[in-house]
Amino acid sequence: MKSVNRVVTILSLLAVVFLTACGGGGGDVASSGGGSSLLAASFSADEQNPGQNSVSLQEGSSSGNRVTVLVQVTDTVNLTGGTFDVTYDPARFTYMGSSAGDLFESSGVTPIYGVNEPVSGHLVIGVGSATAVGVNGAETLIRLSFRADAQGSGQVVLDLADLLGASGQAVPGVAWFGGTLIGT
């Protein structure tokens, strides 16, 4: 029940953001400022080839001290969204923003995206759609951009995570995999 209440709360917040047309957090991945341009950022996935009914973080593009992390869903049916928390090391990395994935958009569905402003390396993310879609293979739910501010690495953990099915209930048996941000 706790999970259902959390999902309802997050989706309600997403609806308010969508209806009022105020940014909703995160910004875009082109944000500038800070960090050393001498650093190189990369990402290493905990699971390179996740199985069906899974969500994993994978490296997208990287350039200089910036890296995009893809939140990918693999082989899941009747999906209407997802809610999850992301934690990372804010002493070494800065969250720069988010951008839409292709999971819903490629099906002609317009989802609602919500990402809170980061607090101490913690993000709360929600993606929702009124129409259910199936995922064959791996498709990106949302893209997260980070900047390396110092050398070293830090785990990126997915927590309090649920994919939502057509009924609005959590999809059972989903495996979630994080990874590691790296600044060199």
Please give the pLDDT value at position 10.
53
Pick the CATH number of 2-183 from 2.60.40.680, 3.40.50.300, 1.10.10.10, 3.50.50.60: 2.60.40.680
Please give the pLDDT value at position 172.
96
105-161 pLDDT tens trace: 888 888 999 999 999 999 999 999 988 888 888 999 999 999 999 999 999 999 999
**Residue whose C-alpha is closest to residue 168's, from 11, 52, 2:** 11
Which DSSP state fits 119? B
User: In residues, how long is the chain?
Assistant: 184
Question: In the chain, where does DSSP find H-type helix?
Answer: 2-20
Please give the pLDDT value at position 35.
56
Does the pLDDT of residue 162 top 70, yes or no?
yes
The residue ranges of every structural domain in the chain are: 2-183
Note whether 6 and 26 are within 8 A (CB).
no
Please give the pLDDT value at position 24.
40
**Residue whose C-alpha is closest to residue 176's, from 164, 160, 165:** 160
